[in-house]
């Protein structure tokens, strides 16, 4: 059955981690716990995503999402003392002080520090984006900084700017070529962050930003569609569905958006997803179909939408049909409706 909605979002949880990152002491380490959101499959894993994180390669281009996406949930920042190469540089310190003249002097003295990350993976560009420091942004861009470096939580400067509500900075980064098609290990992207901020003009620009890799764009938008289903954000869902992306309606280790919407009784999105070609009998992590989800929660009209479009009323999970599940949960009208279709 669908999991209950959690009161805070993964975005909120990441904000807490960012705040803690900025004040964490040199000898301290912490873990980013297992986040569960409505309908999203995030199994607990024993290995930490942050193991050997300091060995990450620098990346200029978009990261390609592999077909078998494995969700990562545990963040364990290694002790600062183990990574002397990630100490603050004069450039990151000058950026945090919003001193553009000192930043220019630092770049003149040691240009190699422009893309160096500190112990939480922040570069000077991350700090400038976080603080909305446009003068610093422009200086770093003029000196050809890397646009899409991800910090140790998987956030790019573009994502940091959006989360901090510096939308002018976000647009400036997009103008310079920053990509919205990078995904954090918690499945956040610039697109989901813009949607969470209800910044729909920027969201529209992000969705239609060209990508050097179509498959990557398709997958990032497919993850964002799951986010839209979880948050019942029809504006985001509509924009994604109406884009020219070839959407993946069944991503590995993820709840299909139709199953999520059916379980929530979110009829308008159920209809749009069906029209867009989402499989009517997709199975979730519990091996339930959208009809089983809708029936289990007593969403009669949702069941009727699914059935009118050809959902299999005789589909079985552990020997039970959607009708059986509705009966067990006390949804008599739903059970009666489904029984009539089965007779």
Over residues 136-146, mean pLDDT: 97
Indicate the range of 50-64, 217-231, 236-250 predicted with least confidence.
50-64
CATH number of the domain that residue 297 is part of = 1.25.40.20
Query: Does one domain contain both 173 and 300?
Result: no
Domain closes at, from 179, 212, 227: 179
Answer yes or no: do 266 and 167 share one domain: no
Tell whether 311 is covered by a domain.
yes
Confirm whether 249 is domain-assigned: no
Provide the number of structural domains found in the chain: 2
**Domain that includes residue 264, residue range:** 256-343
d(CA 105, CA 43): 48
| Closest residue by Cα to residue 13 from 139, 239, 157, 185 | 185
Report if residue 210 sits inside a domain. Answer: no
Q: How confident is the model at residue 18 (pLDDT cuts 50, 70, 90)?
A: low
Question: What is the average per-residue pLDDT within 239-245?
Answer: 93
- The domain boundary residue, chosen from 160, 179, 198: 179
Q: How much is the pLDDT for 72? A: 33
Q: What is the pTM of this model?
A: 0.74
End position of a domain, from candidates 179, 207, 240: 179
Residue 217 lies in a domain: no
pLDDT in tens, 45-103: 233 333 333 333 344 444 434 444 443 333 333 444 445 456 889 999 999 999 999 99
Q: How far apart are CA 17 and CA 122, in angstroms?
A: 13
The answer to whether residue 98 sits within a structural domain is yes
* 172 shares a domain with 270: no
Provide the token pair at 175. Answer: 């103008």
Residue 213 lies in a domain: no
Return mean pLDDT, the chain: 81
């Amino acid at each position: 059955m669908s999991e209950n909605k959690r009161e805070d979002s993964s975005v909120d949880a990441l904000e807490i981690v960012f705040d803690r990152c900025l004040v964490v002491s040199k000898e301290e380490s912490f873990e980013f716990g297992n986040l569960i959101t409505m309908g999203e499959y995030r199994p607990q894993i024993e290995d930490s995503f942050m193991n050997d994180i300091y060995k990450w390669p620098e990346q200029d281009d978009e990261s390609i999402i592999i077909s078998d996406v494995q969700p990562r949930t545990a963040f364990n920042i290694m002790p600062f003392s183990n990574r002397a190469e990630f100490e603050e540089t004069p450039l990151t310190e000058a950026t945090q002080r919003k001193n553009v003249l000192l930043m220019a002097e630092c770049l003149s003295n040691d240009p190699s520090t422009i893309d160096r990350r500190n112990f939480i993976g922040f570069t000077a560009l991350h700090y400038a984006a976080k603080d909305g420091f446009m003068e610093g942004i422009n200086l770093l861009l003029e000196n050809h900084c890397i646009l899409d470096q991800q910090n140790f939580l998987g956030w790019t400067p573009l994502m940091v700017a959006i989360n901090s509500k510096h939308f002018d900075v976000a647009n400036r980064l997009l103008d310079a070529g920053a990509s919205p098609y990078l995904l954090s290990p918690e499945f956040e992207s610039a697109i989901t962050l813009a949607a969470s901020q209800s910044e729909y003009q920027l969201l529209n620009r992000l969705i239609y930003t060209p990508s050097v890799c179509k498959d990557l764009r398709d997958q990032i938008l497919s993850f964002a569609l799951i986010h839209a289903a979880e948050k019942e954000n029809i504006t985001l869902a509509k924009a994604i569905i109406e884009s020219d992306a070839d959407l993946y309606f069944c991503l590995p280790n993820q709840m299909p958006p139709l199953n999520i919407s059916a379980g929530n009784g979110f009829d308008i999105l159920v209809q749009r997803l069906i029209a867009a070609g989402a499989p009517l009998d997709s199975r979730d992590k519990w091996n339930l179909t959208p009809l089983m989800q809708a029936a289990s929660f007593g969403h009669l009209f949702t069941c009727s939408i699914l059935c009118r479009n050809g959902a299999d009323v005789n589909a079985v999970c552990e020997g039970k049909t959607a009708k059986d599940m509705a009966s067990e949960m006390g949804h008599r009208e739903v059970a009666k409706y489904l029984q009539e279709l089965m007779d």
